[in-house]
Amino acid sequence: MSVVRWGFNALPEAIEDLDRMPRDIRADALALVHDVMRTHIRGPRLDNHQARELDGCRKLYVGPAADWRVVYIEMPQPPGPRDHQDIVIVAAGPRADLSVYEAAAARLRTNHAGNDRTPQAARARSSHAGPAPTTPTARVPAAAPSPRPAPRR
């Protein structure tokens, strides 16, 4: 059995969301994210949310009254020497007016490369993600000229 290692990413807007939170709420939110990364605890899925873009996302309840939310996605990475998944924070904020979910849905709809509404779109926009992998183009050697038939004698 292999151990899954969790990486952390966040959209730039999600970092700004966290910065706007009260210090104690932000500390709780980051502690919960850390718990998700080091344990098998996961937030509830948002598959039945009004915003269909949130399918596959999860949420964390934050604060003493659980009135703050962190919306994140879990993204498996391609197999490699280090099998791991990334937790990508999409949005964070108060739950009261549902704006945290609206912000998460809008961010998942947006992608610099087009209109990709998948978790990969979020990762592509993450401030912590490395450059997008490029697919090397295979160079096809020019066909060698066919050998000429030997002259008949």
pLDDT (tens digit, 9 = 90+) per residue, 97-150? 899 999 999 999 884 334 444 455 554 554 444 444 333 333 333 344 444 555
CA dihedral 97, 101, 105, 111 (to 10 degrees): 100
Q: How far apart are CA 118 and CA 53, in angstroms?
A: 8
> What integer pLDDT is reported at residue 41 of this predicted model?
82
pLDDT band at 39 (very low <50, low <70, confident <90, very high): confident
Q: How many residues does the chain have?
A: 153
pLDDT band at 25 (very low <50, low <70, confident <90, very high): very high
Residue ranges and CATH numbers for the domains of the chain are: 5-125 (3.30.2310.20)
Q: pLDDT of 73-103, one tens digit each?
A: 988 776 766 667 788 999 999 999 899 999 9
Do 59 and 76 meet the contact criterion of CB atoms below 8 Å apart? no
